[in-house]
Amino acid sequence: MNPDSLSVIGQFFDRIDIFLLIMVRVVAFFMFVPVVSGLNIPMTIRLTLSICVSAVLFLSGAVASVAYNDTTAGYVILIVTEFMAGAFMGYMIFVIFNLIYHAGQLIDYEIGLSMMNVLDPLTQIQVPIVGNIYFLAVSALLVATGGLNGFIGAFYQSYEVLPLGMAHIVGNASFAMYAVTVLTEFMVLAVKIAMPVVGAVLVINVVLGIMVKTVPQINVFVVGMPLKLIVGIFLLFAVLSPQLRTIYEYVYDAAYDALINTIWGMAP
């Protein structure tokens, strides 16, 4: 074997502890990132992707060294810290993208589809019909527009702000407060997305209420349920569908900002 190759292999094994720590953060991050975390993606592919990204980070010199207590307990603590850091970064993206489901649930409830759910092939859980349709569309746009590359790029930069073992998580009150704020904004964003349909159905409910008072003979349930369903589906195709790219950009920007703020929030 070429002596240079032996030298490279020797250097790799000398720093294998750093490579494994990088891989722990990468694996934890990919556990929550949309599309990549889907259960329909074979574990082999997800593991291969994690190894490739970890190798690029390792070979690029993004992580030069790490200081820790040179014992088994010290290394385990470092592994837990890196796993939590990567998981929090990925989870913030996961939370923002799942507001699509919440918006779909609000729409389903208003137009009468809340009694039926479908199985999401990505997460293997029951999700609202409208929410699942739009989440799959947004996930497709995330792949087609290179949004995953943007998330991975921001993750790569996280090693400049959060060197290995330097993530401040336990006892970080400001970061905990930010996480609560993100959950609050999650609800607001979902309502904004669902508002065209929810607002229109609210107007229909008011009109039906007036009709019941003026013409008591009308069966409001027989008239109202089909009317709200027809209007809701029409608005989904006439209003929300043409705005799908705008909705995706809105959600992606919010998720990217959340990722950046999470990285800086855990900075030492």
Residues 104 and 134 sit within 8 Å (Cβ to Cβ):
yes
127 DSSP β-pair partners: 118
Structural domain for 182, as ranges: 3-265
Task: For 81-132, write each residue's pLDDT tens digit.
Answer: 889 999 999 999 988 888 888 888 888 877 777 666 666 655 666 777 777 8
Task: For 52-84, write each residue's pLDDT tens digit.
Answer: 888 888 887 767 667 666 677 778 888 888 899
Q: Which contiguous run of DSSP H or E holds residue 128?
A: strand 126-128
For residue 244, give both structure tokens.
């799908």
- Tally the domains of the chain: 1
* pTM of the entire predicted model: 0.82
More confident residue, 6 or 225: 225
Residues 51 and 23 sit within 8 Å (Cβ to Cβ):
yes
Residues 189 and 246: their CA atoms lie apart, in Å, by: 13
**146 dihedral zone (left: phi>0; alpha: psi -120 to 50; beta):** left
118 DSSP β-pair partners: 127
Percent of the chain at pLDDT exceeding 70: 85
- The mean pLDDT value for 176-197 works out to 82
Question: If 0-12 CB within 10 Å is exposed, 13-18 middle and 19+ buried, where does residue 14 land?
Answer: exposed
Task: For 29-48, write each residue's pLDDT tens digit.
Answer: 998 888 888 777 778 888 88
Task: For 217-263, write each residue's pLDDT tens digit.
Answer: 777 667 777 778 788 788 878 777 778 888 888 889 989 998 998 88
For residue 63, give both structure tokens.
């992580």
